[in-house]
Structure 1
Amino acid sequence: MHSRSPRATSREFDAAHFRKALSQFATGVTVITTRLADGTLLGLTASSFNSVSLSPPLVLWSLSEQASSMPVFSGNSHYVINILGADQAALAEQFARKSADRFDGVEYTLSRTGQPVLKGVSAWFECHNRSRYPEGDHVIFVGEVEHCEVMPQAALVFHDGRFGKIDS
């Protein structure tokens, strides 16, 4: 069931202040990857990842409606959420840049459904693209996890506009 409450009454809202407040919440860092039918690889950095349910196993992430990759992620049946380790800040930056080939020089293997799994990540989740919910200027993707792996290591975190690490 999807229901909406009436809109908040405050019409004056400082978006820059809101963004600064959000930056105070430390998050893990992920790279979401998928592969098109023609073999083209696509990936992007996202910190909007969270668990939803253990049974069934569901996770979520969100993507700007304006993202050039929106049609691909909306239309593909599967994707992989790669959780980056503490030494992978350069990888996060590479997949955050607007570039023709974000996979340039990146080591990966293919999952059971042919999706790219990045080498050296601390965990990954192969997801069926179960549902999407438009909210505000983003779309929330809910993925049903079909397979996952974990390789425990120090975590890459993002806080106040900077990368850092948390030792495990």
Structure 2
Amino acid sequence: MSAVAPSDFTRAMAQVPSPVTIVTTTDGSGRRWGFTASSFSSLSLDPPLVLVCPAKSAGSHDTFVAAERFMINILSAEQAAIARHFARSGHDKFTTGDMVPCELDLPGLPGATARLACTAHAVLDGGDHSILVGRVEAVYVGDQEPLVYHNRTFTRPEAASPALAAAR
């Protein structure tokens, strides 16, 4: 069986619109950590579980794998610059002052579309990523339009056409 070329897989996955999140935590010494992720999904309603997948090569990977709690900030359409800032490595991501203590006292974005404060439920192997499964302990839901990552760019979801809206 032949393997799929990584470039083909990446090109295909770029066609799948994904939510943009910033995942945050605080380690035992009080240092804040964060990364941008589009590999995020709900997993279970009972119990309420979500998953997010940090790259094993990321500098924050070991901190998140060991974290007892983490926050998933689902970004609003106006937060693309923050997503880019947290996607870069090699700098203090919290210098801009965008994050404040939120649910479970975890670093959160006040302007996020939603925030999910989680306790660690499981860590699974996912190839070159780990799969962090979090049990949702607290939720904030705003009314902002979400930020979406599609075809290697940040965008807003398109409004539903009248025909689609009527079908609901």
> Do these two structures clear the TM 0.5 threshold for a shared fold by scoring above it?
yes
Which of 118, 121, 125 pairs up with 1:130? 121
Matches within 5 A, 1:142-157: 142-157=133-148
Give the drift of 1:167.
6.1
Q: TM-score, normalised by structure 2?
A: 0.90
Which of 61, 81, 85 pairs up with 1:70? 61
> Identity over the aligned pairs, expressed in percent?
36
Give the drift of 1:114.
2.6
Residue in 1 that maps onto 2:3: 12
Residue in 2 that maps onto 1:113: 104
1:22 and 2:13 aligned? yes
Which of 135, 141, 154 pairs up with 2:132? 141
Contact kept in structure 1, 2:69 and 2:120, CA below 8 Å: yes
Question: What is the number of residues matched between the two proteins?
Answer: 159
* Higher normalized helix content (fraction of residues): 2
Shift in alpha-carbon separation, 1:22–1:36, aligned structure 2, 3 A: same
**Stretches of 4+ moved more than 2 A in 1?**
10-13, 106-109, 111-114
Give the drift of 1:157.
0.5
User: Aligned partners of 2:5, 2:123: CA distance in 1, in Å?
Assistant: 28
SS in 1 for 2:9: helix
Which consecutive residues of structure 2, in runs of 5 or more, have no partner in the other structure? 160-168
Which consecutive residues of structure 1, in runs of 5 or more, have no partner in the other structure? 1-9
User: Aligned partners of 2:113, 2:132: CA distance in 1, in Å?
Assistant: 21
User: Aligned partners of 1:112, 1:30: CA distance in 2, in Å?
Assistant: 16
* Higher normalized strand content (fraction of residues): 1
Contact kept in structure 2, 1:153 and 1:167, CA below 8 Å: no
Shift in alpha-carbon separation, 1:95–1:44, aligned structure 2, 3 A: same
Contact kept in structure 1, 2:41 and 2:50, CA below 8 Å: yes
Contact kept in structure 1, 2:148 and 2:155, CA below 8 Å: yes
Contact kept in structure 2, 1:35 and 1:114, CA below 8 Å: no
Q: TM-score, normalised by structure 1?
A: 0.90
